[in-house]
Amino acid sequence: MNIISIKKRIPKFAKNKYFIIGVVVVVIILIYLFTRGKSASGIESSPAAMGNVIEKVSVTGTVTPIGKADLAFQKGGVVRAINFKVGDQVKRGDVIASLDSADDRANLAGVQASLADLQRGLRPEELAFDQSNVNNASTTLNNAKSVALNASRDGYVKTQNAVFNYSDNFFNNAQSSNPTINIQTDSYNQSNNLNNERLVVTDAFKNWKSDLDSSSGIGASKLLSNSESNLNTIKNFLGDVSAVVNKLTPNGSSLSQAQIDSYVSAMNTALSNLNTAISSVTNADTALKSASSGYDQAVNQFAVQKAGSSQDMIDAAQAKVDAAQAALNKDSIFSPIDGLLTKADPNVGEFVSPGVNTFGVISNGQFKIDAFVPEADIAKVAINNSADVTLDAYGSNVIFKATVTAIDPAETVLQGVPTYKVTLQFIQKDDRIRSGMTANTDILTHEKDNVLTVPSRALINTSGQKSVRVLNSDGKTFTSVDVVVGLKGSDGNTEIISGVTEGQKVVTYTK
């Protein structure tokens, strides 16, 4: 290709002198911008200048409702009603759903009625009724005492008959101080024991007679108790005598079988009479105890009613009402917050188990951010720090304002790294914010205005001492100067408290 053809390819505007001058100027500007801050020796520098230093902690979190509640019935049962559907607005205290509560409502009504009775006191007709109960119980008790006396006397007579007319036939001088058995026994010791038992029986009859003579003094209950003791003593005696009689044989006793049979029959009759007496006294004792208990209960009840209900009784009844009301409340699920119903799993008529989360509510339009700050940055964050938030759904140009409202004191280990949960709340409600969105959060932790700053990359750390290299006037050499630094900004600048002055150039890079 020759020169002429090349010239033909050059556009006409490129041959214009003004165009050429413009190109030269642009090249000069580019060279200036590229070489600014560089010396011929390859040193880059930047002047210490007054400015603002901002420290931020950047974390990513998740948007969640400020109020959120997973709700469950406290006890199992059949769902009777569901008052809202998913998406409905609910108020705090609204009954979202309830179980069949007929039994609990009936129980509450019963204890409420009892409390009302205690609080109002008794009407005159009720006091008269209680007085009548006392009178009737007193009559029953007096009758029981009379029956007790008759039973003891009858038992005394029947028992004497059993001993005197039957068992004493086998003793000589039976009612004396020296009774002696007159039939064959197995041994001398057996005969001696029977003789001694007969003496004890004589004493029992004497004591029994004395009790009957003074029955009004010792009381019916004591009379029956002593009578039962006497009956047991005589029963043991008659049983021992009957055992000896039943062992008699014609060969060993020189008695005919007919005589032996009559003796056995006699002892059986004696024991039968004794058992009748025992049964009569026992029944009288049971009736007397029942009548006495009934009388005491009627008297105590009447005394309480006349005195009126004590505060302790009213308090106890109120406690039962409170417990019944609490049991009834467990049949319903109440919304703990104002918000939106997000979950309602069961249907009316279904059985639900206790503790299973079947309903859910979130606060309406009020959201927060839960973020986890690494251990290295958590000391910088404080309650009420402001923050700029962007949501992935709307891009980085849409900024929402938030404030730090809580910092967990305990760590949460994520992927082996200790972190601390930080909660931020959006300052304003915004319909664009939704639960579950990803929130990119810049927390403004510190800020200083109008302070001396240098680029952070200009700082050199030597054994904990910070220094910078100040460019000398020749632009080719520099001098190391110790500095005291303040706040390190997130924008790449650091506050200088002392060591350099405004306008001094500090080295940021050397080849």
DSSP for 356-388, written as a single string: -EEEEEEESS-EEEEEEEEHHHHTT--TT-EEE
384-393 mean pLDDT:
93
On whether residue 86 sits in a domain, the answer given is yes
What SS3 state is found at 32?
helix
Give me the pLDDT at residue 132, please. Answer: 86
Distance CA 77, CA 327 (A): 13
Checking phi first, is residue 499 left (phi over 0); if not, alpha (psi -120 to 50) or beta? left
Give me the pLDDT at residue 8, please. Answer: 47
129 and 271 together in one domain: yes
169 and 257 together in one domain: yes
Task: Say whether pLDDT at 453 is over 70.
Answer: yes
Task: Say whether pLDDT at 492 is over 60.
Answer: yes
Backbone dihedral angles phi then psi of residue 178, each to the nearest 5 degrees = -140, 65
Number of neighbouring beta carbons within 10 Å of residue 328 = 17
Give me the pLDDT at residue 19, please. Answer: 62
Using pLDDT thresholds of 50, 70 and 90, give the confidence band for residue 403: very high
Task: Say whether pLDDT at 28 is over 70.
Answer: no
The pLDDT mean for the chain works out to 86
Instruction: List, as one string, the DSSP characters of 198-252.
Output: HHHHHHHHHHHHHHHHTHHHH-HHHHHHHHHHHHHHHHHHHHHHHHHHHT--HHH
More confident residue, 200 or 488: 200
Query: Cα torsion at 341, 345, 351, 356 (round to 10°)?
Result: -80
On whether residue 194 sits in a domain, the answer given is yes
Residues in the chain: 511
Give me the pLDDT at residue 241, please. Answer: 94
169 and 294 together in one domain: yes
139 and 192 together in one domain: yes
318 and 358 together in one domain: no
On whether residue 424 sits in a domain, the answer given is yes
On whether residue 380 sits in a domain, the answer given is yes
315 and 445 together in one domain: no
On whether residue 218 sits in a domain, the answer given is yes
226 and 116 together in one domain: no
Instruction: Give the total number of structural domains in the chain.
Output: 5
Give me the pLDDT at residue 317, please. Answer: 82
The boundaries of the domain holding residue 78 are 68-100+331-363
**Segment among 185-189, 293-297, 336-340, 490-494 with least mean pLDDT:** 336-340
On whether residue 43 sits in a domain, the answer given is no
CATH of the domain at 337: 2.40.50.100
Give me the pLDDT at residue 39, please. Answer: 46
Using pLDDT thresholds of 50, 70 and 90, give the confidence band for residue 415: confident
Give me the pLDDT at residue 372, please. Answer: 94
167 and 184 together in one domain: yes
Task: Say if residues 159 and 234 touch (Cβ distance below 8 Å).
Answer: yes
Give me the pLDDT at residue 22, please. Answer: 66
Task: Say whether pLDDT at 146 is over 80.
Answer: yes
Give me the pLDDT at residue 89, please. Answer: 86
Residue 76, Cα to own-chain centre: how many angstroms?
A: 17
**Segment among 53-57, 109-113, 127-131, 165-169 with least mean pLDDT:** 127-131
CATH of the domain at 500: 2.40.30.170
On whether residue 41 sits in a domain, the answer given is no
136 and 83 together in one domain: no
**Segment among 179-183, 251-255, 265-269, 283-287 with least mean pLDDT:** 251-255
| Burial group, residue 330, by CB count within 10 angstroms (0-12, 13-18, 19+) | middle
Using pLDDT thresholds of 50, 70 and 90, give the confidence band for residue 122: low
More confident residue, 362 or 71: 71
Give me the pLDDT at residue 2, please. Answer: 45
Task: Say whether pLDDT at 497 is over 90.
Answer: yes
193 and 290 together in one domain: yes
Number of neighbouring beta carbons within 10 Å of residue 433 = 21
Percent of the chain with pLDDT over 90: 54
* pTM of the full structure: 0.42
343 and 445 together in one domain: no
Task: Say whether pLDDT at 192 is over 80.
Answer: yes
On whether residue 44 sits in a domain, the answer given is no
Task: Say whether pLDDT at 12 is over 90.
Answer: no
Start-to-end C-alpha separation, the chain: 45
Which two three-digit tokens encode residue 276? 């009748």
Give me the pLDDT at residue 341, please. Answer: 87
Task: Say whether pLDDT at 11 is over 60.
Answer: no
Distance CA 421, CA 419 (A): 7
322 and 381 together in one domain: no
